[in-house]
Each structure stands twice: as C-alpha cells, then as structure tokens.
Structure 1
Amino acid sequence: MTGPVEYRTDARPSAEAYIDVVRRSGLGERLPVDDPALMQAALDASDIVVTAWDGDRLVGFLRAVTDFALICYLQELGVDAARQRDGIGLELQREMRALLGPRCKIRVSEAPGAAGYYGRHGYSRHDRSWELLPGEPLV
C-alpha cells in the first residue's frame, strides 16, 4: 500500500537513504553506490536536491547543479521502481523548475533505461555536448 507523496526542497537525505532509493530506482548500476562518502559529497555540492517521501520512506529524488539564471544541469532523477508511473518524476521536475529563474534552461543526459522519457515531457534533443572522463588528459 502506498500513501500520498510529500515533496521537499528544504531537507537533504543522508547518503544511506539516497543510495537506498537510487538502488530501488534502477540507477544503482550507473552511480557509485558502493562509495557513500562520494555520494554524500555529490549531495552536499548540489545546488538543488528535491525529494519525494511516502511517510518516512524516500521514494524519489532529483539532484541538479545550476546558476539559477541561465542554465541548470539535472544530474539525476529517479523514482522507486514500485512508484514509477505515479507522476513523481514529473512533479520533482516541477519543484526544481519553480526554483529557477524564468530564462533558465534545463539540460539532462538521458540514462540508458529512460529512452524517450524526457522527450515525452517537453524536452528537446540537444546533441552539442562533450565529455571528458576521469583520468583522461586535456591535450
């Protein structure tokens, strides 16, 4: 049985709670869930963390880095697999967007398991991104 969801921007979860819901969301295979200190550092350095709670159970999350005026990079968006398709992910994004300035763009890299999700919710494809992986030299 699932209850009503409460969305919060004022309290960040512990790394343990965050890792738990990351695993339940299906994103655990692409994030360093075996390194709680690194996950905590990512949470602490995020400009926006929006969470969705069913009572005291974390069921959804959004983490973003932004200047609040021009650009916002949505780093992670995930919902407990048992609560997916309940509109939680969309509401997490609405909560994030409410914190941004009126001209602020949102950018996101689509996870392999989320093919088509963002396009269905109004995002346009952007293919002008580049990536430099850890340990790769700048030349």
Structure 2
Amino acid sequence: MITYQQETNLTTEEFSTVLVNSTLGERRPIDQPDRLKKMLEFGNLIITARDEGKLIGISRSLTDFAYCTYLSDLAVDILYQKQGIGKELIRQTKLAAPLAKLILLAAPTAIHYYPKIGMTKYEHCFYINDAKELT
C-alpha cells in the first residue's frame, strides 16, 4: 500500500536513490551530496510516497504557502510509474498550499504528461544559469 506524507527529515541517500530510480537523476547533481543536502534543507515542502517504508516518489517544492509553490522535483521510481503516484504527489503538494499557484518546469520526457492530468501549459518562462549571462 502506497502512503503519502509531508516529511522534513529525508536523508540525501534516500533522495539520491529515488532521483536515480526515476531517471530525474540524469538532470540533478546526484554526484554532489552536499548540494543534495542543501536541496532538501531549503525545499520547504516535501511530500513523499512510500511503499512499505521504501521511498518510491517525491515532490520537492519551494513555497510561501500564500501565492506560489514552485515544484522543483517530481520523481517516481520507474518501477512504480503509470500508477497515478506522480499525480497524487502533485495533488498532495497543492493541498498543502491551497492558496498558492503550483508552478513547475517539465522534464523533456514529461512535457506531455502534465496537460493529461489537468495542468495548464504556460509558455512564458525564462531562466538563467549564471549572472554573467545578463547583458
């Protein structure tokens, strides 16, 4: 039976394992445990999915609980995908901050998933990796 809960004490090992097992690890600093630790420390809304204690999914967000929630990491172990776990992690995240608009950037392989579960696509997004890139 899959259980969902808000957690504040995940280990970097558990976090790294679910990232790798979901393929999100391809785009996350899994070889930098100090960075992963900070990601957990400063992600102020973490919802997990567990199967008999084993971490099989995570929604890691940054939120003010009033205006916006940025869902930075949504990862579900590949062995558990296509069972509605990702959708439930998103639902639990939204329920934890009901006044805030939930925002995320889709991984390239998941870009078609979010509209299927009822999320609205918004085309105006910008990012920068280094302050030196500003002109």
TM interval, shorter chain, is: over 0.9
Alpha-carbon deviation of 1:112? 1.0
**Structure 2 partner of 1:117:** 113
Cα distance in structure 2, aligned partners of 1:43 and 1:36: 11
* 1:62–1:77 contact (8 Å) kept in structure 2: yes
* Bigger Cα displacement from structure 2, 24-33 vs 123-132: 123-132
Residues 60-106 of structure 1: per-residue CA shift (max 9 Å, x gap): 0000111111111110101000000111111111111111133x211
1:77 pairs, out of 70, 74, 78, with 74
Q: Distance in 1 between matches of 2:28 and 2:131?
A: 17
Alpha-carbon RMSD across the aligned residues, in angstroms, is 1.3
Structure 2: distance between partners of 1:90 and 1:98: 12
**Contact kept in structure 2, 1:12 and 1:49, CA below 8 Å:** no
In structure 2, the residue matched to 1:134 is 130
Q: C-alpha separation between the residues in 2 aligned to 1:113 and 1:130?
A: 19
SS at match of 1:106: strand
Correspondence 1:108 to 2:104 = yes
Asked if the contact 2:7/2:48 (under 8 Å) is kept, the reply is no
Instruction: After the TM superposition, list the runs of 4 or more consecutive aligned residues in structure 1 that deviate by more than 4 angstroms.
Output: none
Separation (CA, whole Å) in 1 of partners of 2:81 and 2:52: 17
Contact persistence 1:63–1:75 (CA under 8 A): yes
Q: TM-score, normalised by structure 2?
A: 0.93
Equivalence for 2:40: 43
Q: Unmatched 5+ residue regions in structure 1?
A: none
Alpha-carbon distance in structure 1 between the residues aligned to 2:32 and 2:7: 24
CA contact (8 A) 1:59 1:80 kept: yes
Q: Which amino acid aligns with 2:125?
A: S
Once the two structures are TM-superposed, the CA of residue 115 in structure 1 deviates from its matched residue by 2.3
Q: Which residue of 1 aligns with 2:96?
A: 99
- Structure 2: 5+ residue stretches without partners: none
Whichever residue aligns with residue 46 of structure 1, its letter is G
Partners of 1:45 and 1:18 in 2: CA distance = 14
Secondary structure in 2 matching 1:132: coil
**Alignment length (residue pairs):** 135
Residues 59 and 90, structure 2, Cα contact 8 Å, conserved in 1:
yes
